[in-house]
């Protein structure tokens, strides 16, 4: 497993990230959870993967989950509708007690299912999934996310052909369904962030971190960074991950065509 020593953190680094969380992400989460705006999505029939010729590079899709079996099912179905077909799905069940694992085993026998005996949080779950991945590329999705554009994975893969780019992705939400969000470190020392917004008229934009509710990265780069810091149970792991990528000189990209709908489920990521 990835170690704190390999990642090379210190307490001052973590203080910076914690300050960012308190000033930005918590406010966004609260506004979205309080919103009553709903989005109606059209459902498409699942297409067997063997009906379309596989692309060359494999993508390992890693989805940590905790007590979200219905939302997880919607997430999985959205993956099947993607035009890019050379992928594997790895579900990391973080000790759910809502029957998630038995349902996944029965309905999706081709999915690789990992189950924690105790809840260890999203960072640990993502790292465990990555260690078991065989793809050259890793796509991290939250279990309450949904890929709503059929070419999202293909666009992300093509963007990552540029070796200067670390991650690509972005999320939209029920409050602003026509905008894909990334974020920039406005002032690292005092912990302030600014949003980077992409709409259908925008070219892909550089940001400092991509939300890991929908984030693709080359596996080699993920290992180079040492994975997610398990110190950040939730939230903050995506802010920290982007911070370390930018320190190493990588660019992070948010793109409208890559955006996933993040539903910000009220179901917790960790036991309360």
The tokens of 248 are what?
């190493």
C-alpha closest to that of 259 among 219, 192, 220, 207: 207
Most confident listed range (1-10, 44-53, 129-138, 166-175): 129-138
Give tens-digit pLDDT for 106-124: 999 999 999 988 888 888 8
C-alpha closest to that of 39 among 140, 150, 178: 178
| β 137-141/214-218 pair status | antiparallel
The tokens of 201 are what?
């008229």
Helix (H, G, I), strand (E, B) or coil at 257: helix
What percentage of the chain has pLDDT greater than the value 90? 34
Please answer whether residues 230 and 121 qualify as being in contact, where contact means their C-beta atoms are separated by less than 8 angstroms.
Answer: yes
pLDDT above 60: residue 20 = no
The tokens of 134 are what?
């065989």
Residue 87 pLDDT: 94
CA distance 49 to 53: 8
CA distance 128 to 122: 10
pLDDT band at 226, cuts 50/70/90?
confident
């Amino acid at each position: 497993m990835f170690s704190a020593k390999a990642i090379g953190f210190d307490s001052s680094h973590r203080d910076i990230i914690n300050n960012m969380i308190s000033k930005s992400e918590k406010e966004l989460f609260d506004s979205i959870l309080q919103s009553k705006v709903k989005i109606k999505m059209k459902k498409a029939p699942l297409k067997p993967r063997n009906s379309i010729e596989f692309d060359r590079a494999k993508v390992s899709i890693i989805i940590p989950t905790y007590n979200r079996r219905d939302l997880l099912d919607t997430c999985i179905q959205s993956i099947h509708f993607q035009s890019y077909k050379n992928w594997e799905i790895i579900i990391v069940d973080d000790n759910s007690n809502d029957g998630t694992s038995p349902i996944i085993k029965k309905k999706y026998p081709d999915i690789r299912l990992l189950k924690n005996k105790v809840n260890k949080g999203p960072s640990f779950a993502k790292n465990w999934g990555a260690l078991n991945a065989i793809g050259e590329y890793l796509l991290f999705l939250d279990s309450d996310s949904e890929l709503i554009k059929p070419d999202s994975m293909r666009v992300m893969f093509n963007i990552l052909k540029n070796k200067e780019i670390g991650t690509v992705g972005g999320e939209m939400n029920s409050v602003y369904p026509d905008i894909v969000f990334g974020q920039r470190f406005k002032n690292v020392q005092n912990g302030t962030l600014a949003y980077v917004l992409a709409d259908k008229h925008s070219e892909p934009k550089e940001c400092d971190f991509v939300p890991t509710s929908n984030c693709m990265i080359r596996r080699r780069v993920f290992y180079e960074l040492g994975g997610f810091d398990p110190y950040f149970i939730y939230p903050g792991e995506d802010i920290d991950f982007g911070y370390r990528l930018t320190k190493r000189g990588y660019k992070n990209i948010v793109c409208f065509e890559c955006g996933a709908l993040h539903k910000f489920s009220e179901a917790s990521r960790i036991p309360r």
